[in-house]
Chain A
Amino acid sequence: MAQKSVERRDLRAGKMGVYLRNNWQLYALLLIPIAFVIIFKYAAYPGMRIAFMNYKPAKGFSGSPWVGLETFEKVFKDKSFHTALRNSLIFNFLDLIVGFPVPIILALLLNELRFDRYKKVSQTILYLPHFLSWPIIASVMLTLFKPETGLVNVALMNLGIIDKGIPFLTEKWHWAVSYLLIGVWQNMGWGSIIYLAAITGIDAELYEAATIDGAGRWRKIWNVTLPCIRGTMVTLLIMNLGRVMGSNFERLDAFGNVQVKDFQYQLAIYIYEKGLAGGNFSRATAVGLFQSLVGLILVLASDKVAKKLGEDGLL
């Protein structure tokens, strides 16, 4: 506050020089991160022009001809692009629908849990999967779910429930379910933190009033807790909607195999395989540009909607 008013006075006196003399160090500090993002991020933006060129790596930027929107026309007619786009949208939506309620339910359960020590330990354990890399998770799951030798299948067969191993991660429909559930599982603990924080902020008097009115536990959850965290829920839902175009390359790559290609083939995989692995730089850049643009529009739109609903936006 004091600093602010001092600076105000400097400005009012019309002494830009004084202001700068007092604050140049702040700008010098800022120069470091700004230079950094310019060198390692912004400098890549001009490279996006190869989406409008027929780029040949051997010839470089200057040797490759401009082709206008031709690459985009090709992309939008490309069957494998349609598959990738469809898979991305479907899986991200399903991720959202299946994955959204679970952290909320978990937070409610944890909040109602009465044994403090037990609660602390279980929270620590539930957050763990969030800190493990996708290769670790995928390889552990593969060990667990292999049709012939995986623990789950062996146990089910020994119990006589099934007589042939279920291809949880090697047949596309099974894979789709496993992939989604593993995603939910990986994120549920970590996702519950934000709701727990919101619940902690609820005024205790509301509960006392509800108790006096004779409300039981479930009534209080329904009529006090849930309405009080509605804002957090709406904000997170909208923000996640804004991200349905993005897909996590590492998660897809780690769980990928030949048998599930039909579903695993999403935009991130398309860009990697066509571009870096296949050498079709122009096409991969065009799809990347499309993905970035739609993603940006979705984020901006969801931020607007959130703010219109009276919630905190993202930006």
Chain B
Amino acid sequence: MQAKTVKKTSAFAGVNRIRVSDLVIAFVILLLSLTCILPFIHVTAKSVSSNTAVMSKSVYLWPKGLNFDAYVSIFRDGQLTHSMVYTVIVTLLFTVIGMFITICAAYPLSIRGLKGRPVFAFILMFTMYFSAGLIPEYLLYKDLGLLNTMWVLVLPLCFAPYNMLIMRSFLASTIPDSLYEAAKLDGASHIQTLIKIVLPLSKPILATLSLFYAVGRWNAYADAKYYITAKSLQPLQYLLSNMVLNSGNDAISLAESAAAESTPEVLQAATIMFATLPIIMVYPFVQKYFVKGAMIGAVKG
């Protein structure tokens, strides 16, 4: 059904013969797709190749002298694995709290008769367009005692007004008013209506927004750079940037402390893949929810 309507809107509707231009288009798309996947295959191949093969620059897309020494070093060192577990915990907390607050904001704001709705929406949205800036926020979090705690990675960012907008427009457009009416006639309060009727009907958008929150938190590291100095509280992406990008001082320490047999290059490749694989493995299964969210976001909040 879906495919049928898509085909219909194509400029090609009605003709079934495959033409040269079809193949050209397919080829261009192939090239673009390869640019998105080959870099990661290359780094993966490097991370499981032997030192000599990497040193002689003969590893392209297929590993040579297959071995997992670099990954063994990473696990033996424990720094990255610790950070991975820690980042998972932070991400879960962030997502749960963020979703709770988003629901609390989006549901009342989706109800048309609510008095003062524009004012509340404005208060929630304004911070998206005008931020106090790095230093005032830094001083605030310092006063709140958040610096150098896990919570500075959770609380300041965990409500995203944009996600609230997506949820609000989903609720306003998909929950029929007759359901609210029925709930009211049954004597249900607003909160009962929310829990028993609205949320079960909103499962797809709840999945989508949870993923938006989770991926956003998983990938962000600027706030860790601003607010956290303790090494044990650094999220995975920040650790990666310290190990591979910022002159690689930490990578050397990793090699030393783990008594690694791998060269820095192999170790770096393994570090990169260690941080990348979780996303790449989960991504194909959750991708469709992201697309759904992007569509609703596009239709405008």
With both beta carbons as reference points, the residue of chain B lying nearest to A155 in the complex is identified as: B60
User: A198-241: contact bitstring with B at CB < 8 Å (1 yes, 0 no)?
Assistant: 11101010011011000001001100110000001000000000
Are B272 and A118 in touch, CB under 8 angstroms? no
Binding site for B on A (CB under 8 A): 1-4, 6-8, 19, 23, 25-27, 29-30, 32-34, 36-37, 39-48, 50, 106, 109-116, 118-119, 121-122, 124-129, 131-136, 138-144, 149, 151, 154-155, 185, 188-190, 193-194, 197-200, 202, 204, 207-208, 210-211, 217, 220-221, 224-225, 232, 249-250, 253-254, 256, 271-272, 275-276, 281, 284-285, 288-289, 291-293, 295-296, 299, 312
Are A200 and B5 in touch, CB under 8 angstroms? yes
Are A199 and B107 in touch, CB under 8 angstroms? no
A48-B132 contact, Cβ under 8 Å, with A143-B269, A149-B57:
yes
Q: What 4 pairs between A and B have smallest CB-CB spacing?
A: A288-B133, A47-B136, A220-B11, A2-B181
A202-B57 contact, Cβ under 8 Å, with A33-B124, A118-B26:
no
B231 at the interface (CB under 8 A from A): no
A131-B32 contact, Cβ under 8 Å, with A3-B113, A34-B123, A250-B222:
no
Are A2 and B279 in touch, CB under 8 angstroms? no
Are A112 and B36 in touch, CB under 8 angstroms? no
Q: Please name all residues of chain A whose beta carbon is closer than 8 Å to the beta carbon of B135 when the two chains form the complex.
A: 47, 50, 271, 275-276, 281, 284-285, 288
- Pick from B6, B113, B140, B237: contact of A200, CB under 8 Å: B6
- Pick from B26, B114, B132: contact of A41, CB under 8 Å: B132
Determine the main DSSP class of A at the interface with B.
Answer: helix
B196 at the interface (CB under 8 A from A): no
CA A121 – CA B34 in complex, angstroms? 12
Shortest distance in angstroms between A42's beta carbon and chain B's nearest beta carbon? 7
B203 at the interface (CB under 8 A from A): no
Q: Please name all residues of chain A whose beta carbon is closer than 8 Å to the beta carbon of B29 when the two chains form the complex.
A: 109-110, 113, 118-119, 122
Interface contact tally, CB-CB below 8 A: 303
- Pick from B18, B220, B287: contact of A124, CB under 8 Å: B287
Number of interface residues of B (CB under 8 A): 105
A185-B35 contact, Cβ under 8 Å, with A50-B136, A155-B60, A276-B135:
yes
CA A47 – CA B123 in complex, angstroms? 19
Output the residue of A6, A50, A136 with the most chain B CB within 10 A.
Answer: A136
A197-B113 contact, Cβ under 8 Å, with A109-B25, A124-B284:
no
Q: Please name all residues of chain B whose beta carbon is closer than 8 Å to the beta carbon of A204 when the two chains form the complex.
A: 5, 8-9, 13
With both beta carbons as reference points, the residue of chain A lying nearest to B127 in the complex is identified as: A41
Q: Please name all residues of chain A whose beta carbon is closer than 8 Å to the beta carbon of B139 when the two chains form the complex.
A: 44, 47, 50, 281
Q: Please name all residues of chain B whose beta carbon is closer than 8 Å to the beta carbon of A285 when the two chains form the complex.
A: 133, 135-136
Stretch at the interface among B69-77, B88-96, B254-262, B292-300: B292-300
CA A249 – CA B241 in complex, angstroms? 13
Shortest distance in angstroms between A13's beta carbon and chain B's nearest beta carbon? 14
With both beta carbons as reference points, the residue of chain A lying nearest to B60 in the complex is identified as: A151
Are A33 and B101 in touch, CB under 8 angstroms? yes
Shortest distance in angstroms between B7's beta carbon and chain A's nearest beta carbon? 8
CA A291 – CA B24 in complex, angstroms? 45
User: B207-218: contact bitstring with A at CB < 8 Å (1 yes, 0 no)?
Assistant: 000000001001
Q: Please name all residues of chain B whose beta carbon is closer than 8 Å to the beta carbon of A288 when the two chains form the complex.
A: 131-136
CA A279 – CA B298 in complex, angstroms? 41
Q: Please name all residues of chain B whose beta carbon is closer than 8 Å to the beta carbon of A114 when the two chains form the complex.
A: 10, 12, 18, 22, 26
- Pick from B5, B13, B191, B222: contact of A211, CB under 8 Å: B13
Are A139 and B268 in touch, CB under 8 angstroms? yes
A7-B113 contact, Cβ under 8 Å, with A25-B191, A109-B28:
yes
- Pick from B9, B36, B221: contact of A133, CB under 8 Å: B221
B173 at the interface (CB under 8 A from A): no
**Within residues 168 to 189 of chain B, which ones have a CB less than 8 A from any CB in chain A?**
177-178, 180-181, 184, 189
A128-B180 contact, Cβ under 8 Å, with A133-B218, A200-B5, A281-B135:
no
Are A48 and B42 in touch, CB under 8 angstroms? no
Q: Please name all residues of chain A whose beta carbon is closer than 8 Å to the beta carbon of B124 when the two chains form the complex.
A: 33-34, 37
B290 at the interface (CB under 8 A from A): yes
Are A36 and B9 in touch, CB under 8 angstroms? no
Are B36 and A128 in touch, CB under 8 angstroms? yes
